[in-house]
């Protein structure tokens, strides 16, 4: 996906709900098993041993979990905590002169990456201030290890104009920095969508987020990727399961759940599943979501509660307490995907998986 560039495995938001320490640990293990000769390039750090997180606390969690590879903090760090970056050997994505001034005041000798706002109007310094900020970074005794940008509309593969503009702006800024004597080994712009559909957006590194977990950034990206790769497709790695806590038989016309928003249309077997919106099963899936029990699709009835959902288990003949309930994943020939839930909830698959509560246990299968 990164076409020879160094991947920065993005494990922010608890690895998009998949478990940051678990995911990073598995990647680190796979890299340690890889023969040196199989790496792209001769540098050890060109072997993909990079991780990206949003917050300082996420980075520290990885360090405590035994991750020793380079970690870059992509989000904002409160000024009183900047020294912790040095203490834990972390990189920082820098977007402002104020942050650089705070690092200089604390005499912190860090490796930093300069974020350039090429059109997302989010993090980053505007192109006209790139060179002045780079010079301020150098004057502060910091190491300008890399630069980066982020795309605003790269998922819309049918309309590449704005993506082209951002790439052009980024290249111009990179060339300006290099002409001024800044040699930056790590240059990254591509996210998963860009890496999958726009190889020209991949520089010496790329930040792989949602694609790492086998989820597509958008339906357009998925279609374009299949077309360009002979029908190949990403495969989700996550399954989310619970258990049936209770089953009861009720007559037709029985009201279900808070607000009496729904009634059974026939005699039904109702199953109670101990997962609710506080666990990450979105309340907007009330009367819309489906789960799998005994390989059969069972519809969510009534409102999603804080800690449980009510489902019509009638299709799962003989369903009983302790049966496995698949919230996301496959059971026999049936499946429920994060994309399906996202469509029902009116959101994106990123939100569906990243909102799964961290207290939910994660296991490797």
Going by DSSP bridges, is the β-strand pair 50-53/6-10 parallel, antiparallel, or unpaired?
parallel
Say if 152 falls within a structural domain.
yes
What CATH number should be reported for the domain holding residue 304?
2.40.37.10
User: pLDDT confidence of 365, banded at 50, 70, 90?
Assistant: confident
Look at residue 236 and give its three-state secondary structure.
coil
Is residue 189 located within the same domain as residue 329? no
Is 258 among the residues known to form the active site?
Answer: yes
Is residue 202 located within the same domain as residue 281? no
Is residue 92 located within the same domain as residue 195? yes
Say if 359 falls within a structural domain.
no
* DSSP line for 166-184: HHHHHHHHHHHHHHTT---
Please give the pLDDT value at position 43. 38
Structural domain count, the chain: 2
Going by DSSP bridges, is the β-strand pair 205-208/71-73 parallel, antiparallel, or unpaired?
unpaired
Is 12 among the residues known to form the active site?
Answer: yes
Among candidate residues 228, 263, 286, the one where a domain is terminated: 228
Whether the predicted pLDDT of 127 surpasses 80: yes
Asked if residue 157 lies in contact with residue 221, where contact means CB atoms within 8 angstroms, the answer is: yes
Is residue 220 located within the same domain as residue 290? no
Alpha-carbon distance of 209 to 328, in angstroms, equals 19
Angle, alpha carbons 35-41-44 (nearest 5°): 60
* DSSP line for 200-230: GG--SEEEE-GGGGT--S-HHHHHHHHHHTT
Say if 88 falls within a structural domain.
yes
Whether the predicted pLDDT of 51 surpasses 80: yes
Q: What is the pLDDT of residues 167-221, one digit of tens each?
A: 999 999 999 999 999 999 999 999 999 999 999 999 999 999 999 999 999 999 9
Please give the pLDDT value at position 49. 79
Asked if residue 294 lies in contact with residue 243, where contact means CB atoms within 8 angstroms, the answer is: no
Cα separations (Å) of 126 from 53, 112, 116, 169, 364? 23, 17, 6, 10, 43
Long-range residue pairs from 76-82, CB within 8 A, at least 24 positions apart, any chain: 81/56, 82/106, 82/108
Kindly name the residue from 12, 213, 269, 277 that is annotated as catalytic. 12
Q: What is the pLDDT of residues 220-245, one digit of tens each?
A: 999 999 999 989 999 999 999 999 99
Is residue 281 located within the same domain as residue 146? no
Whether the predicted pLDDT of 139 surpasses 90: yes
Say if 235 falls within a structural domain.
no
Quick one: which of 139, 138, 146 has its CA closest to 112?
Answer: 146
Say if 122 falls within a structural domain.
yes
What CATH number should be reported for the domain holding residue 196?
3.20.20.10
Angle, helices 130-139/97-105, rounded to nearest 10 degrees: 0
Is residue 206 located within the same domain as residue 84? yes
Is residue 163 located within the same domain as residue 73? yes
Residues above pLDDT 70, as percent of the chain: 95
Is residue 67 located within the same domain as residue 207? yes
Alpha-carbon distance of 115 to 112, in angstroms, equals 9
Among candidate residues 228, 259, 282, the one where a domain is terminated: 228
Alpha-carbon distance of 163 to 242, in angstroms, equals 41
User: pLDDT confidence of 41, banded at 50, 70, 90?
Assistant: very low
Through-space distance between the first and last CA atoms of the chain, rounded to whole angstroms:
24
Alpha-carbon distance of 39 to 158, in angstroms, equals 34
Structure-block tokens of residue 72: 């870059």
User: pLDDT confidence of 31, banded at 50, 70, 90?
Assistant: confident
Parent domain of 257: 240-354
Is residue 304 located within the same domain as residue 181? no
Measured in degrees and rounded to the nearest 5, phi and psi for residue 290 equal -135, 150
Is residue 217 located within the same domain as residue 270? no
Is residue 14 located within the same domain as residue 131? yes
Please give the average per-residue pLDDT across 285-294, as a whole number.
98
Please give the pLDDT value at position 228. 92
Cβ-based neighbour number of residue 275 at 10 Å:
24
Please name the residues in contact with 232: beta carbons below 8 A apart, sequence gap of 6 or more.
Answer: 225, 226
Alpha-carbon distance of 19 to 361, in angstroms, equals 9
Whether the predicted pLDDT of 36 surpasses 70: no
Please give the pLDDT value at position 195. 96
What is the overall mean pLDDT for the chain? Answer: 94
Kindly name the residue from 98, 105, 248, 258 that is annotated as catalytic. 258
Say if 220 falls within a structural domain.
yes
User: pLDDT confidence of 35, banded at 50, 70, 90?
Assistant: low
Alpha-carbon distance of 325 to 329, in angstroms, equals 10
Please give the pLDDT value at position 202. 97
Asked if residue 27 lies in contact with residue 9, where contact means CB atoms within 8 angstroms, the answer is: yes
Quick one: which of 34, 40, 37, 65 has its CA closest to 51?
Answer: 65
CA 323 to chain centre: 30
Query: DSSP secondary-structure letter at 125?
Result: B
Is residue 59 located within the same domain as residue 134? yes
Among candidate residues 192, 207, 228, the one where a domain is terminated: 228
Say if 291 falls within a structural domain.
yes
Say if 246 falls within a structural domain.
yes
């Amino acid at each position: 996906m990164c076409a020879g560039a160094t991947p920065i495995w993005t494990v922010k938001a608890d690895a998009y709900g998949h478990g940051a320490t678990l995911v990073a640990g598995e990647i680190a293990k796979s890299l340690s098993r890889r023969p040196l000769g199989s790496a792209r390039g001769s540098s050890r750090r060109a072997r993909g041993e990079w991780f990206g997180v949003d917050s300082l606390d996420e980075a520290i969690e990885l360090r405590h979990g035994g991750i020793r590879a380079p970690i870059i903090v992509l989000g904002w760090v409160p000024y009183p905590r900047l020294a912790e970056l040095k203490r834990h050997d972390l990189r920082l994505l820098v977007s402002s002169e104020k942050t650089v001034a705070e690092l200089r005041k604390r005499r912190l000798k860090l490796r930093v990456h300069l974020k350039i706002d090429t059109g997302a109007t989010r993090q980053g310094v505007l192109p006209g201030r790139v060179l002045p900020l780079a010079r301020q970074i150098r004057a502060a005794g910091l190491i300008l290890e890399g630069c980066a940008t982020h795309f605003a509309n790269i998922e819309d593969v049918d309309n590449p104009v704005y993506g082209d503009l951002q790439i052009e702006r980024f290249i111009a800024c990179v060339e300006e920095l290099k002409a001024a004597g800044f040699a930056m080994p790590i240059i990254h712009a591509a996210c998963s969508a860009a890496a999958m559909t726009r190889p020209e957006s991949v520089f010496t590194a790329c930040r792989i987020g949602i694609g790492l977990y086998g989820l597509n950034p958008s339906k357009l990206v998925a279609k374009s990727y299949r077309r360009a790769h002979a029908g190949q497709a990403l495969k989700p790695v996550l399954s989310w399961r619970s258990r049936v806590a209770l089953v009861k038989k009720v007559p037709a016309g029985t009201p279900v759940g808070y607000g009496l928003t729904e009634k059974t249309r026939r005699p039904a077997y109702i199953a109670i599943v101990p997962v609710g919106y506080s666990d990450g099963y979105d309340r907007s899936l009330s009367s819309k979501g489906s789960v799998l029990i005994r390989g059969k699709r069972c519809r969510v009835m009534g409102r999603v509660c804080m800690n449980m959902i009510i489902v019509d288990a009638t299709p799962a003949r003989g369903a009983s307490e302790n049966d496995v309930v698949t919230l996301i994943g496959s059971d026999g020939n049936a499946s429920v995907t994060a994309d399906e839930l996202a469509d029902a909830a009116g959101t994106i698959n990123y939100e569906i998986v990243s909102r799964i509560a961290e207290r939910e246990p994660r296991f490797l299968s």
